[in-house]
Amino acid sequence: MLIDKLKPSGTPGQRFRAALARSQPLPVVGAMNPFCALLAERAGHQAVYLAGGGMATYSHGLPDLGLTTMTEVLQDVRRMTDACDLPLMVDVDTGFGGAFNIARLIKGLIKDGAAAIHIEDQVQLKRCGHRPNKALVGTAEMVDRIKACVDARSDDSFFLVARTDSLANEGLQAAIDRACAYMEAGADMIFAEACGELGQYRSFVQAIDRPHSVMANITEFSMTPTFTLDELRQAGVSAALYPLSAARAMAAAAQNVYRAILEDGSPRRMLGAMQPRTELYEVLNYHAYEAKYDELFAAGADK
């Protein structure tokens, strides 16, 4: 039996839009699983993110090459939204097929409680946005992807972000031209991938000339420096993704623990890097569940 909790008011999309209005820019932090989403909520974040590359790596042990499926994405979305009430943005790669596939995806995401997506203009055999040799579809095909999202949206507050990977391939002006076409097609925001300078974000913001129009991807060890929120704010950026920051730290910590067990015969020297059991229980509201068990067992004993 689950412990009841109050549900937040408004749709997930409405809550995401409200968070975007409150924070300039809004940090949207990656959560590799539902427990990480709870940790982000506990830390005070207002939105979380399910990264396609993160899901491939940490749920399936695969590289970020478009190898996961629509079904797998929706499954992870349900896990996240069941556990955490923060609005969730989902990376849907290129949409997992044509217009009808995209429509199924959007309807499923809204039904399962997602707040927002970003969809990109790479070909279906996509690559990580910070790797070489990316191939793009034409502007018209990407516009069709966006229109399929708009047409399938049963909730007008569901937030649509169009990602363009064209800066690396086609240059800044071509990327801006694509971005303007994507916004005209119905996107709510542009995800300008692999920007290396703050001035590039400014150029997107000025060309689009709409509120809350540009998102930055602050992913470590990439083509984009780890700009601060203040720097992004001054450039006019409205949201900043941190897709794998926590996941990378967790992976490094796990690797160190595994090594310590072999080298020392014990994880003792790593205890200071671990989350205490007491904090784990607090995040999960463990004692409330346990108290409910005690109540049920006591009621059964009285019969």
Catalytically active residues, by annotation? 49, 64, 91, 93, 118, 120, 128, 163, 193, 217
Owner of token pair 């070909």: 123
Per-position DSSP letters for 185-203, written without gaps between them = TT-SEEEETT--SHHHHHH
Non-local CB neighbours of 47 within 8 Å, separated by 6+ positions: 16, 19, 26, 27, 28, 29, 86, 87, 88, 89, 115
Non-local CB neighbours of 188 within 8 Å, separated by 6+ positions: 159, 160, 161, 212
Per-residue DSSP letter, 28: E
For 125, the token pair is 């055999």
* CA gap 98, 102 in Å, rounded: 6
Query: Do the Cβ atoms of 167 and 224 come closer than 8 Å?
Result: no
Q: Classify burial at 171, counting beta carbons within 10 Å of its beta carbon; exposed 0-12, middle 13-18, buried 19 or more.
A: exposed
State how beta strands 88-91 and 116-120 pair. parallel
* CA gap 106, 100 in Å, rounded: 10
* CA gap 40, 86 in Å, rounded: 9
